[in-house]
Amino acid sequence: MKSVLLVIVAILILMLPTLDAAAQDATSCVAIPNREHGTRCGNRNSQVAYFQNGCTRPIEVKYCLQRSTGKSDCGTTTLQAGEAKSGYVCDGTGKYWFQARIPNTDVRFVPDTVIPWDRR
């Protein structure tokens, strides 16, 4: 029984890099051309993050912006090649993260592979 469990765990571990690599490949397409502070909601603590697709194929981006309460507002958007969109919070900390994937694939957004802004 233990050997069967070990084999199953080993197979799952071997599959994870493939899923992670596909997510990271799309994530490398994302550029952050601009961030703004204090331009929304009449609040000087508002935060806006722009996400741009730097690749030639569409990508789907999941992003979260941290509010001053510590909770995050998240959204998902599809970006065509070269397209940029933004997300914002009215009272933010300036911290946000994103992850991308190729649309219509089996790749899921995996929390362990998000890219925080301070690491970009």
Distances (CA, A) of 68 to 42, 44, 46, 73, 86: 16, 12, 10, 11, 19
* Predicted local confidence at residue 107, as pLDDT: 79
Beta strands 115-116 and 84-89 are unpaired
Sequence-distant (≥ 6) Cβ neighbours of residue 15 within 8 angstroms: none
Does 13 have pLDDT greater than 50? no
* Predicted local confidence at residue 97, as pLDDT: 84
Q: Is the CB of residue 107 less than 8 Å from the CB of residue 22? A: yes
Does 59 have pLDDT greater than 90? yes
* Predicted local confidence at residue 115, as pLDDT: 53
CA–CA separation, 7 vs 104, rounded Å? 30
- Can you tell me which residue has the tokens 């362990």? 112
The verdict on pTM exceeding 0.75 is no
Name the residue among 76, 74, 63, 59 with its Cα closest to residue 25. 59
- How much is the average pLDDT of 9-14? 42
Does 118 have pLDDT greater than 70? no
- Burial class of 77 by CB neighbour count within 10 A (0 to 12, 13 to 18, 19+): middle
pLDDT tens, position by position, 83-115? 999 999 999 888 888 888 888 887 777 664 455
Percent of the chain with pLDDT over 70: 71
Q: Which CATH code of 3.30.70, 2.60.40, 1.20.1050, 2.40.30 fits the domain covering 2-119? A: 2.60.40
